[in-house]
């Protein structure tokens, strides 16, 4: 093991620094895993007992891989080394000390389905939600409870940030959370969250055990430290002590899991928590060519709080990333397909990835790829054709074209209470044998059945373009969406908006339905050969491709609408952008559509480029614009970074609140709400009260005091 030839200077420094607290800031593609592996091997070579090493990771697979590679270097296994996840370490420790945490007879660890079942039983015991079809499902109840615990914030705060539409159930959620906790204590049960919080409590209050573990684990290493939550950071502090031999490895710029409870402050504050911390930066990148790194360095330059780093590479290459400006999001899909076809001549298709902020953003591209016969595999989010609400609407469209489609009837009527497969078969038979008597009886018994049949009759008489038919159908489907998917209908609304965008490109309903039906089998977990990769940025972390295309780099899409309400969320969006761009090895293309189709108006609304794009100096990319003839042409346009005194988003005036009377619009226009974002005012039913259509949330009636008029 020659550390001088097999490691660069920074990696070698990290390996050789074995005493005291160490923070390794490992930039993207900088050989983080290699550094950990060689440090494990070096410690053992220096005479450290493998049993005195504790390696904490976020997946069992990564811990096993590191220990295996270190063992290969040493020529013998490291079976005595404790390596695994925080949860597995907590479980083993708690089992040995069950009496000290209030379980003298031991405890049972519940899996996800067990936890959901307990939530359901507690809800029923409390007699909550009876007769309320919109009541949150057991999975959603558990999600709200576990997010509250992992982020260590009240459930009310979780609802305000992530699920505002569930706010009416706040009192119920708090009651269920209390009942859930009591049920676990009563039956000696723990869930995955309990493992961490019980260990934290045990270590905080049991000094002999704390000292025993510190003596046993003289060397602690933690991988992906930027992904730790607050309780995990406290556990590390308990185990390491004030100045223990603890090495945290991670990258503050890749902290993108706040929605799971990860807290970037853990890695940023590490030097303050552990006095005398030595900070080592791994900045040499072994993945990407320098022009790509020049762009990603500029993205990080604008971060408010960070560890400074400058990624560099020895890989040859001088081609700048491309910043492509399609005329609209409707032409973006076609241009991306053209780029994929072009890149496919240079790289295998599975080495080409299209990344996006949210799963619904790839829907138009999925249709376009299917139409030209390009195979794809999607990671993160739901494939367009697999989304339940999309299937609902497509079933209704199929019935507009073909009333003999029995499978579509089953889908279209499944939400009607009291109408199961047998009843659907009877209705189907009655419609095709002109059994008016049975249909009259059925529609009298099931009012919503009558509504569906009447709506389909009206749609069949419309004719015209698919977009017009879909426009009317989506208005009809909106209450069904809310009733059928009460837990997450705001998120599903975005997919319906994309379906409306797709329909604009068709003049024939049969052709549209045909293209939407030509989807392959659901993707398997393993990577497919010769299939272009579609992925959310979150799912892309840790992966790499020869060519990366990043789409929808406009406000409200990247960054997301919700993130633009809070500075800390905007910082995470910046880190997402950094993660996305650093996935590219040789080629990076960024798409910034100039307008986005608005289904309500039937027109395209102009967009604002993502602030992360606006910050980029024009020296780090080649600007390319779509001409009105459909081609692409290079257009150099100065875009330098704003001066320090220039106005930024953070300098913008705050939204109007109840303490500050709103401006009264002379005519109906647009406004901003702190929760729902930007919306269009469509009516003013009474003084200081407005009906506003918020994309993704639908029509809301809002008191004017809570709106900022634009």
3-state secondary structure 664-695: CCCCCCEEEECCCEEEEEEEEEECCEEEEEEC
Q: Does the bond joining 134 to the residue before it have cis omega, within 30 degrees of 0?
A: no
CATH superfamily of 322-380+526-634: P-loop containing nucleotide triphosphate hydrolases (3.40.50.300)
Is 71 labeled as ligand-binding? no
Interior angle at CA 55, CA 52 and CA 57, nearest 5: 165
Q: What pLDDT is attached to residue 25?
A: 96
Is residue 659 scored above 60 in pLDDT?
A: no
Q: What pLDDT is attached to residue 453?
A: 86
Is residue 646 scored above 80 in pLDDT?
A: no
Mean pLDDT, range 119-139, rounded to an integer: 90
Task: Give me the phi and psi of 528, to 5 degrees please.
Answer: -95, 145
Mean pLDDT, range 61-73, rounded to an integer: 92
- In this prediction, residue 518 has a pLDDT band, given cuts at 50, 70 and 90, of low
Of the candidate ranges 124-133, 235-244, 494-503, the one whose mean pLDDT is the lowest:
494-503
Is residue 238 scored above 50 in pLDDT?
A: yes
Q: What pLDDT is attached to residue 665?
A: 43
In our burial notation (b when 16+ CB lie closer than 10 A, e otherwise), range 645-664 reads eeeeeeeeeeebeeeeebee
Give domain limits for the chain: 9-99+194-284, 108-187, 322-380+526-634, 384-518, 670-709
- In this prediction, residue 523 has a pLDDT band, given cuts at 50, 70 and 90, of very low
Of the candidate ranges 163-167, 491-495, 568-572, 636-640, the one whose mean pLDDT is the lowest:
636-640
Is residue 123 scored above 50 in pLDDT?
A: yes
Of the candidate ranges 167-181, 584-598, 619-633, 647-661, the one whose mean pLDDT is the lowest:
647-661
pLDDT digits (tens, 9 = 90+) for 548-561: 999 999 998 999 88
Of the candidate ranges 347-361, 562-576, 695-709, the one whose mean pLDDT is the lowest:
695-709
Q: Which CATH architecture has domain 9-99+194-284?
A: 3-Layer(aba) Sandwich (3.40)
Q: Partners of 664 in the beta sheet?
A: none
Q: Which helix (H) or strand (E) holds 529?
A: none
Q: What pLDDT is attached to residue 484?
A: 85
> What's the chain's average pLDDT?
86
Q: What pLDDT is attached to residue 699?
A: 72
Is residue 643 scored above 70 in pLDDT?
A: no
Q: Which two tokens stand for residue 476?
A: 């009809």
Q: What pLDDT is attached to residue 536?
A: 93
Is 494 labeled as ligand-binding? no
Is 655 labeled as ligand-binding? no
- For the sheet with 53-57, list strands across it: 82-85, 53-57, 219-222, 245-250, 22-26, 278-282
- In this prediction, residue 522 has a pLDDT band, given cuts at 50, 70 and 90, of very low
User: Looking at the domain that runs over 384-518, which CATH code has it been given?
Assistant: 1.10.486.10
The DSSP code for 275 is T
Is residue 644 scored above 50 in pLDDT?
A: no
Mean pLDDT, range 319-336, rounded to an integer: 92
Is 33 labeled as ligand-binding? yes
- Which of 157-166, 420-429, 599-608 has the highest average model confidence (pLDDT)? 157-166
Mean pLDDT, range 325-343, rounded to an integer: 92
Judged by DSSP in three states, 546 sits in: strand
In our burial notation (b when 16+ CB lie closer than 10 A, e otherwise), range 675-690 reads bbbbbbbeeeeeeeeb
Task: Give me the phi and psi of 667, to 5 degrees please.
Answer: -145, 165
Q: Compute the distance between CA of residue 537 and CA of residue 354 in angstroms, rounded to an integer.
A: 9
Q: What pLDDT is attached to residue 655?
A: 32
Mean pLDDT, range 342-352, rounded to an integer: 94
Q: What pLDDT is attached to residue 490?
A: 83
Fold match flag (9-99+194-284 vs 384-518): no
Looking at per-residue pLDDT, the higher value among 492 and 27 belongs to 27
Q: What pLDDT is attached to residue 526?
A: 58
Is 317 labeled as ligand-binding? no
Q: Compute the distance between CA of residue 350 and CA of residue 343 in angstroms, rounded to an integer.
A: 11
Looking at per-residue pLDDT, the higher value among 463 and 257 belongs to 257
Q: Compute the distance between CA of residue 604 and CA of residue 594 in angstroms, rounded to an integer.
A: 9
Is 28 labeled as ligand-binding? yes
Q: What pLDDT is attached to residue 41?
A: 94
């Amino acid at each position: 093991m020659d550390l001088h030839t097999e490691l660069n200077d920074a990696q070698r420094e990290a390996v050789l620094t074995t005493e005291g607290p160490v923070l390794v800031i490992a930039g993207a593609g900088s050989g983080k895993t290699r550094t950990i592996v060689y440090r494990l091997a070096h410690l053992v070579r220096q005479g450290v007992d493998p049993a005195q090493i504790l390696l904490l990771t976020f997946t069992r697979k990564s811990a096993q891989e590191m220990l295996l590679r270190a063992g290969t270097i040493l020529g013998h296994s490291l079976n005595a080394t404790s390596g695994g996840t925080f949860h597995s370490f907590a479980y083993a420790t708690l089992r040995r000390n069950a009496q000290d945490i209030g379980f003298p007879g031991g405890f049972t660890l519940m899996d996800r389905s067990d936890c959901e079942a307990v939530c359901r039983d507690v809800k029923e015991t409390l007699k909550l939600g009876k007769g309320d079809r919109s009541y949150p499902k057991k999975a959603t109840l558990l999600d709200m409870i576990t997010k509250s615990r992992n982020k260590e914030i009240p459930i009310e705060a979780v609802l305000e940030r992530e699920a505002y539409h569930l706010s009416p159930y706040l009192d119920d959620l708090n009651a269920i959370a209390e009942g859930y906790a009591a049920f676990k204590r009563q039956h000696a049960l723990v869930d995955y969250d309990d493992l961490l919080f019980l260990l934290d409590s045990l270590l905080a209050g049991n000094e002999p055990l704390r000292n025993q573990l510190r003596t046993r684990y003289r060397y602690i290493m933690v991988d992906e430290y930027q992904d730790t939550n607050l309780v995990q950071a406290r556990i590390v502090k308990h185990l390491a002590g004030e100045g223990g031999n603890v090495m945290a490895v991670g990258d503050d710029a890749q902290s993108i899991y706040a929605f799971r409870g990860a807290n970037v402050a853990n890695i940023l504050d590490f030097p303050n928590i552990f006095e005398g911390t030595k900070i080592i930066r791994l900045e040499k990148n072994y993945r990407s060519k320098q022009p790509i790194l020049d762009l990603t360095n500029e993205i990080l330059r604008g971060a408010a709080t960070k560890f400074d780093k400058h990624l560099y590479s020895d890989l040859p290459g001088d081609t700048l990333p491309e910043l492509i400006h399609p005329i609209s999001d409707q032409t973006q899909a076609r241009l991306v397909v053209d780029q994929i076809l072009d890149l496919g001549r240079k790289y295998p298709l599975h080495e080409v990835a299209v990344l996006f902020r949210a799963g619904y953003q790839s829907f138009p591209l999925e249709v376009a790829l299917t139409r030209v016969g390009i195979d794809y595999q999607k990671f993160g989010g739901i494939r367009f054709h697999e989304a339940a609400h999309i299937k609902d609407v497509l079933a209704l469209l199929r019935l507009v074209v073909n009333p003999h489609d029995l499978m579509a009837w089953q889908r279209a009527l499944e939400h009607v209470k009291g109408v199961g497969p047998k009843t659907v078969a009877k209705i189907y038979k009655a419609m095709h044998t002109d059994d008016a008597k049975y249909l009259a009886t059925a529609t009298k018994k099931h009012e919503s059945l009558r509504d569906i049949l009447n709506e389909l009759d009206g749609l069949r008489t419309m004719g015209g373009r698919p977009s017009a038919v879909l426009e009317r159908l989506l208005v009809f489907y909106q209450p069904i969406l809310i009733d059928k998917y009460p837990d997450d209908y705001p998120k599903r609304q975005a997919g319906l908006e994309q379906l409306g965008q797709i329909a604009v490109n068709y003049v024939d309903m049969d052709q549209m339905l045909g293209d939407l039906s030509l989807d392959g089998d659901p993707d398997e977990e393993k990577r497919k050969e010769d299939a272009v990769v579609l992925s959310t940025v979150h799912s892309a972390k840790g992966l790499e491709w020869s060519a990366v295309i990043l789409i929808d780099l406009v406000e409200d899409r990247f960054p997301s609408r919700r993130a633009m309400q809070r500075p800390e969320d905007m910082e995470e969006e910046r880190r997402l952008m950094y993660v996305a761009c650093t996935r590219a090895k040789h080629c990076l293309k960024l798409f910034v559509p100039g307008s986005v189709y608005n289904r309500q108006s039937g027109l395209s609304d102009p967009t604002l480029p993502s602030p992360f794009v606006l910050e980029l100096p024009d020296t780090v990319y080649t600007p390319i614009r779509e001409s009105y003839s459909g081609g692409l042409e290079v257009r150099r346009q100065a875009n330098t970074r704003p001066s320090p005194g220039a106005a930024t988003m953070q300098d913008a005036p705050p939204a109007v609140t109840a303490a500050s009377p709103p401006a009264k619009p002379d005519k109906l226009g647009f406004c901003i709400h702190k929760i729902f974002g930007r919306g269009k005012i469509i009516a003013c039913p009474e003084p200081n009260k407005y009906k506003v259509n918020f994309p993704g949330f639908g029509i809301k009636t809002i008191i004017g005091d809570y709106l900022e008029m634009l």
